[in-house]
Amino acid sequence: MDRVLFGDNQFFGVNHMSEEKARQQGMRFQDIRAVIQVLDDAYAENIKTFMCTTHERTAEICEHFRAHPQKYPDYKFYPCLPYAHKYANAAAELGILGAVRSFLPQDNAFGALLKGGMSLATKDVEGLAQLLIGAELKMFAGLDTPVIFLQNVATDFLLGLGFNAAFRMFADCVREGYGAEPGFITMNAPLLVKSLEKVGIQNPIICANINKIGFRMCGGMQAYDELITNGRCRMIAMSVFASGALPAQEALEFVCQYPQIESIVFGASSRRNIAQTKQLIERLSLN
């Protein structure tokens, strides 16, 4: 994995600090060309991995990259699925099973349709998971997706239930079906790694909040410190600025003190900000 990965929250109206800022960003990035411009800026700064939710608008971004392979010869996508709000909103409208049914393949693939119905009828969770993962990943067809992540809402929900078998199903599905490494986004990394080990997932790729103020680092700073330094996972640090609560230098000094952290994912909207953050990470990583 690259040292620096590019995140997508800013593009889809997600801002953990302010709804107003989220809305402004939503307006700015309404036109997909504005998103591509920022991704181009990041690419020019040598950031060549885009870690992104399977938001319906991501499909437009994928379309652009598929259409211009010569411009981005070595570009990687790290899809993060599912886009949870889509399911949550559908569950409120259709009920939980109705929501699952509505996201199963509905198109011409008769086999998939049949498989979906059969999986639902026989409570074949693994079969259902494969179909839902397939539906979410369809937009990335033809693009390089070496790591595929389970979003934190899904990861942490399953973790809480003790539905550890689902992690195994996810890992097997992305390895066997897509030749990708499974990754897990979480707000509860210390507990998650233990649960993954129980189902035989060793040294997993984990993407978790790592920030100086311990924002959304459940289990506590000490447990995170042990997890990182013991080398039981390949860690990607996210929310390193704690949604803007920390100044860049201070925030990155904290993260870069851990040589075990493989990658840092951040989102930004301006070339200047992208360049500064990237350079700061590189400078602090040398020490």
Residue numbers at the binding site for another protein (CB under 8 A): 12-19, 22, 85, 88-89, 91-98, 123, 125, 153, 156-163, 165-166, 187-188, 191, 213-220, 242-245
**Closest C-alpha to 101, from 127, 132, 125:** 132
Nearer to another protein, 99 or 275 (CB): 99
User: What is the closest distance, in whole angstroms, from the C-beta atom of residue 191 to another protein in the complex?
Assistant: 7
Nearer to another protein, 3 or 86 (CB): 86
Bridge partners (DSSP) listed for residue 261: 235
User: What is the closest distance, in whole angstroms, from the C-beta atom of residue 240 to another protein in the complex?
Assistant: 13
Q: Which stretches of 25-82 are assigned E, i.e. beta strand?
A: 49-53, 76-81
User: What is the closest distance, in whole angstroms, from the C-beta atom of residue 186 to another protein in the complex?
Assistant: 9
User: What is the closest distance, in whole angstroms, from the C-beta atom of residue 68 to another protein in the complex?
Assistant: 29
Instruction: Classify residue 180 by burial, with Cβ atoms within 10 Å: 0-12, 13-18, 19+.
Output: buried
What does residue 117 show for φ and ψ, rounded to 5 degrees?
Answer: -60, -45
Structure tokens at 190: 């210390």
Nearer to another protein, 71 or 85 (CB): 85
User: What is the closest distance, in whole angstroms, from the C-beta atom of residue 214 to another protein in the complex?
Assistant: 6
Kindly give, in sequence order, each residue whose CB lies less than 8 Å from that of residue 214, ignoring residues fewer than 6 positions away: 220, 221
Give alpha helix (H) positions in 138-218.
152-161, 165-178, 189-198
User: What is the closest distance, in whole angstroms, from the C-beta atom of residue 139 to another protein in the complex?
Assistant: 19
Nearer to another protein, 16 or 271 (CB): 16
Nearer to another protein, 33 or 85 (CB): 85
Nearer to another protein, 36 or 91 (CB): 91
Contact 225, 208 (CB under 8 A): no
CB-facing half-sphere around the CA of 57: CA atoms within 13 A: 15
